[in-house]
Structure 1
């Protein structure tokens, strides 16, 4: 090899080393800059925040994000950023103002959808701060409240309209005592239905507000069944329905006695309302493995399988026509469900059309201290 060739190789090698050194220096400088963009103390503060927090870079990646942001699905530790958050950051930089919006995030292998509220504040030309909170439950609660308000308005219109119509009929037939008497009976029935509806709306609103079980006390479940039976006895005697209490066990639970009596009374009232005259309604109390169960069994019309999953929904009725005849509001079983939940319990149903139904409320048992 000639001296010129050796010189060329040496120059090429030197240039390569120089370029490599420059690249390494540039990369090291970028890493230093990246680290200084979010100082260690700032990272500690962001990491301690409950809200999902992300430092967004201009290249649509996360310079730093906390664990909450990863849990919400808006950023990953490797810097990947949700497209919706990156778009909001672009708007914030473009307008120079704080922007906020709800972003739809899909999480998990099943792709569960969450509504995440994101607020982005531009820090400078290269960085922005995104703060996110999951609004899924809040949205669901708002939808539930709106639905409840619509249902209440609809349900109140029926008895109020009936009372108004009956009052007009009484006025038109004032000279016919027999007709007045008949309309008066119907007005009393509608008034009782309206009173029951209003009371149950108050009850379920209180239960859903989390204000129910304020003072816990030791409760004899057998005594709860006795009290519920006493309250329902007149309705049972009117239909010649026999009330049977199977109370061989007398376990204790911890909770609110009035609420538990209301729940069992609703189950017994339902059993009476949907049973034929001359049949039997039985309530039993059992205790097993630290759990106490109250089962109310009837020999009534039963419930179709397609309705069994929905009967605990508010205002849901399997037979609206029969519910109007019996004075049912569609809230009784929903109240039972919420009372059970307030006592860390459950309620379920077994039913077969033309055979009958069994509603079972199960609560945690309580043992007296020795």
Structure 2
């Protein structure tokens, strides 16, 4: 609309059809963006004839957000299907190999061990999908309480110790005081665990992962630093996307699901915060997870 006049030619064409035929019409229109986002608006239009004088009733419903969410869900389902195919297919092949090697106990043990590893990766992937789904559907205000960051980080470290010890990676934790924050404790533990696991998985053996906490005025920063392979600049903006992997081959080697950093992003958003990364190839990475001290969030992310 401009100066109380309809400017869309497509909409005016539908109105003229209704006036001529005296029959209602439905249609979809795409309007170009007039804002800074650069995204167009998708509208569902219903037009009904009111009387013989040409007056019509026009109902317009902006379905842009619904279509965007639907596209995200379809993409998510497609990605899940693709990611599940690999371990399920591997289990099928390994079961056939076990059956074919029934007269060779050593081969049976070898294939059974591989089945165990693949089964563990499949279980981890399914659990990460469940975690991400809960984060997207949950009310971020529901489980908030005053929690100790020392407790949160110690719990997260404990969940990562087996992986760290197997790779001979030391985990250092430095906190000057036991800071407390209003948060969902389970979500925070999940986020820090994913950051630490990510640091371990992409670091060489016999290196260190460092965790530090800084309290600055109205916000708290949790920094997770590794001595790993680093991230190319071209990948930095995409690493928080679901199922995005900087190095797919290394992800298969480490058992990464491609969902960990996306979970971290959702937890930060649920707490009214954000997560950022600094990295250079060969110089390691530093992830900074920032949340307000007491400000409660208004909404999460998709």
Task: Please give the range of the TM-score, normalised by the shorter of the 2 chains.
Answer: over 0.9
RMSD: 1.5
Q: How many angstroms does 1:213 deviate by?
A: 4.5
TM-score, structure 1 normalization: 0.76
Deviation at 1:209, TM superposition (A): 1.7
Q: What residue is the counterpart of 1:249 in the other structure?
A: 177
1:194 is paired with a residue whose SS is helix
Deviations 1:144-183 (A, max 9, x none): 0110111111100100000000011011111111111111
Give the corresponding residue for 1:96: 22
The reply to whether residue 163 of structure 1 matches residue 83 of structure 2 is no
The answer for the alignment partner of 2:298 in structure 1 is none
Contact 1:314 1:330 in 2 (8 A): yes
Is 1:250–1:285's contact at 8 Å kept on the other side of the alignment? no
The answer (yes or no) to whether the contact 1:222–1:285 under 8 Å persists in 2 is no
Q: Deviations over 1:48-104 (max 9, x none)?
A: xxxxxxxxxxxxxxxxxxxxxxxxxxx223424321221121222233332222211
Contact 2:140 2:271 (8 Å CA) reproduced: no
Note the C-alpha offset of 1:253. 1.5
Q: Contact (CA 8 Å) 2:228, 2:285: kept in 1 or not?
A: yes
Alpha-carbon distance between aligned partners in 2 of 1:354 and 1:175, rounded to the nearest angstrom:
48
Q: Decide which moves more: 102-111 or 230-239.
A: 102-111
What SS does structure 1 have at the residue aligned with 2:289?
strand
Distance 1:275 1:109 in 2: 43
| Number of matched pairs | 293
| Deviation for aligned residue 1:109 | 5.9
Give the SS at the match of 1:133: strand
Q: Name the SS for the 1:353 alignment partner.
A: coil
Superposed displacement of residue 212, structure 1 = 5.0
Instruction: Give me the TM-score of the superposition, normalised by structure 2.
Output: 0.93
CA distance in 1, matches of 2:261, 2:165: 23
For structure 1, which runs of at least 5 residues remain unmatched after alignment?
1-74
Cα separation, 1, equivalents of 2:177 and 2:12: 63
Using the alignment, how far apart are the partners of 1:314 and 1:94 within structure 2? 50
Partner of 1:313: 241
Aligned to 1:186: 114
Residue 85 of structure 1 corresponds to which residue in structure 2? 11
Contact 1:206 1:212 survives alignment (8 Å): no
SS in structure 2 of the partner of residue 296 of structure 1: strand
C-alpha separation between the residues in 2 aligned to 1:250 and 1:98?
Answer: 66
Secondary structure at 1:235's aligned position in 2? Answer: helix
Specify every segment of 5 or more residues in structure 2 that has no aligned partner in the other structure, as ranges: 296-302
Give CA deviations for 1:112-147 in whole Å, capped at 9, x if unaligned.
411122211111231111111221111111110110
Partner of 1:123: 50
1:311–1:317 contact (8 Å) kept in structure 2: yes
Once residues 155 and 118 of structure 1 are traced to their aligned partners in structure 2, the CA distance between those partners, rounded to angstroms, is: 39
Whether contact under 8 Å (2:152, 2:188) holds in the other structure is yes
**Post-superposition offset of 1:250:** 2.4
In 1, are the aligned partners of 2:6 and 2:12 still within 8 Å (CA)? no
Shift of 1:251: 1.9
Q: Which one has a larger percent helix, Structure 1 or Structure 2?
A: 1
- Between structure 1 and structure 2, the one with the greater Rg is 1
Q: Secondary structure at the match of 1:146?
A: helix
Q: CA deviation at 1:199?
A: 0.7
Structure 1 residue aligned with 2:264: 336
Q: Confirm or deny: 8 A CA contact 1:251 1:365 kept in the other structure.
A: no
Contact kept? 1:173, 1:179, Cα under 8 Å:
yes
Matches within 5 A, 1:55-74: none
